[in-house]
């Protein structure tokens, strides 16, 4: 390992920068892949849960519209005639 470091020290500045960029890029790519492998399964499970819940229960808007239509269905008959 120390021999590798000594050979890198003898290289020109531009080559050192390329090597540093490559090593940093590989490290960032590994971190990203680990992060993605942890987050992606949770996203899939969450979307499946949302689909299951939306198929079972009606939405709150549907419940509200049903309740309001039942309340106002009886009052529409008496309001057509004015004294």
Give a yes or no: residue 20 inside a domain: no
How many whole angstroms separate alpha carbon 63 and alpha carbon 66? Answer: 5
Give a yes or no: residue 42 inside a domain: yes
Give a yes or no: residue 12 inside a domain: no
Total domains in the fold of the chain: 1
User: Which pLDDT belongs to residue 33?
Assistant: 92
- Contact 19/8 with Cβ under 8 angstroms? yes
Measure the CA angle with vertex 69, ends 63 and 72; round to 5°.
140
**pLDDT tens across 21-44, in order?**
999 999 999 999 999 888 877 777
Domain extent, residue 51, equals 25-55
User: Which pLDDT belongs to residue 54?
Assistant: 60
Give a yes or no: residue 32 inside a domain: yes
Q: Would the pTM of this model clear 0.85, i.e. be above it? A: no
Give a yes or no: residue 49 inside a domain: yes
Give a yes or no: residue 75 inside a domain: no
Give a yes or no: residue 30 inside a domain: yes
């Amino acid at each position: 390992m120390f021999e590798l470091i000594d050979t890198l020290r003898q290289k020109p500045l531009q080559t050192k920068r390329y090597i540093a960029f490559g090593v940093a890029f590989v490290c960032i790519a590994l971190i990203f892949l680990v992060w993605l492998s942890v987050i992606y399964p949770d996203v899939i499970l969450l979307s499946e849960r949302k689909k299951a819940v939306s198929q079972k229960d009606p939405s709150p808007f549907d419940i509200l519209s049903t309740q309001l239509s039942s309340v106002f269905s009886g009052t529409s008959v008496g309001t057509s005639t004015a004294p």
